[in-house]
Structure 1
Amino acid sequence: MATPTTKIDITKLPSEQIIQLKNQVQEELNHFTSSLQALTTAQTKFKDCIDNINEIASSSSSSEKKEIMVPLTGSLYVPGFIKSENKFLCDIGTGYFVEKDSKNAKILFQSKIDKLTKDNEKLTEILQSKADTLNSINNVLRSKFKEQDAAYQAKANK
């Protein structure tokens, strides 16, 4: 059962607590921004997979074996040959691979791109909400500092 949320009027909080709240929201904003960048990078990688499938499938008309570089690690590659231009091992997550033909492999990667696009849109909405919240906090903080400065000036003029 969800607990009801209560809204707090931040204009009634002391400046120190508003600053802490601002820092917390800024950290969340930074986290969501890096998550959005990671989603965009993943989308690009899946689009590259589709492009690579198209490239290999289009070159299947030639009868010669096509040589490629096969990655063993992030920085170690060995020469290899494409055995079949219409069969691909696709990573479906957590180290599991399935063999798919070019059509189904493209469908798999496109579905992943579509999912990431939806997640990207949701995350963008959250980012906008957090940015609006941060702007509101900054406005309240500015007004608090103006009030404190005016009170200090009034005391100094007496």
Structure 2
Amino acid sequence: MASGNSETINLDTLSAQQLSQVKKQLDEELEHLTSSFTQLHAAQSKFRDCLRCVQDKNKSPALRENNSILVPLTNSLYVRGTLSDASHVVVDIGTGFYVEKDIKSAAAFYENKVGELGASIKDLEAIVQGKTNNLRVVEEGIINSMRS
């Protein structure tokens, strides 16, 4: 059994109790990785929404001419607003920092973020698959040790 940079463990040399501990550790790791996977997907979805909004603002003549917008105060509460400069937007770059960017730069920023998160999700999928395979092998080892 091996995953990534982890060491190889010969399951035949482990007792049933040790196998149970390894299984518990793998279960916890999988739970954490699955949670991270979900969070990455949510973040990617938010960046895609931001990208779509920036692209829609740039494409729609009605939106370019009419600078009225709805500003979200909470997930379900919006207030009317007016854009003072429709060619620039404020972009949340993380940890509470915002920068003003033109529409093209904002779209490039969001495209880059979606791509980075996509790569991270792909890497994480491979890790989760490896851990899942390791868990399956450990579970088989537990079943075999019970039969002996």
- With the length of structure 2 as denominator, give the TM-score of the two structures: 0.87
Unaligned runs of 5+ residues in structure 1 are 148-158
The alignment of Structure 1 onto Structure 2 pairs a total of residues equal to 144
Counterpart CA distance in 1 for 2:63 and 2:115 is 33
Q: Tell me how far 1:77 sits from its aligned partner.
A: 2.7
Q: Tell me how far 1:9 sits from its aligned partner.
A: 1.7
CA contact (8 A) 2:67 2:86 kept: no
Code of the residue aligned with 1:65 in structure 2: it is N
Listed one character per residue, the Cα deviations across residues 6-51 of structure 1 (whole Å, up to 9, x for unaligned) are 5332222111111111011011111111111111111111111111
Q: Tell me how far 1:79 sits from its aligned partner.
A: 1.6
Corresponding residue for residue 136 of structure 1: 137
Counterpart CA distance in 1 for 2:62 and 2:82 is 15
Corresponding residue for residue 33 of structure 1: 34
Corresponding residue for residue 106 of structure 1: 107
Corresponding residue for residue 55 of structure 2: 54
Counterpart CA distance in 2 for 1:117 and 1:22 is 29
CA contact (8 A) 2:71 2:81 kept: yes
Coordinate RMSD, CA, aligned: 2.1
User: Runs in 1 of length 4+ with deviation above 4 angstroms?
Assistant: 60-64
Code of the residue aligned with 2:81 in structure 1: it is G
Unaligned runs of 5+ residues in structure 2 are none
**CA distance 1:75–1:50, shift in 2 (3 Å):** same
Counterpart secondary structure, 1:83 = coil
Q: What fraction of aligned residue pairs are identical, expressed as a percent?
A: 35
Larger radius of gyration: 1
Counterpart secondary structure, 1:49 = helix
Counterpart secondary structure, 1:91 = strand
Q: Tell me how far 1:78 sits from its aligned partner.
A: 2.0
Counterpart CA distance in 2 for 1:127 and 1:5 is 14
- With the length of structure 1 as denominator, give the TM-score of the two structures: 0.82
Deviates more, 1:64-73 or 1:77-86: 64-73
CA contact (8 A) 2:70 2:79 kept: yes
Q: How does 1:109-124 map to 2 (within 5 A)?
A: 109-124=110-125
Deviates more, 1:82-91 or 1:23-32: 82-91
**CA distance 1:16–1:35, shift in 2 (3 Å):** same
CA contact (8 A) 2:58 2:64 kept: no
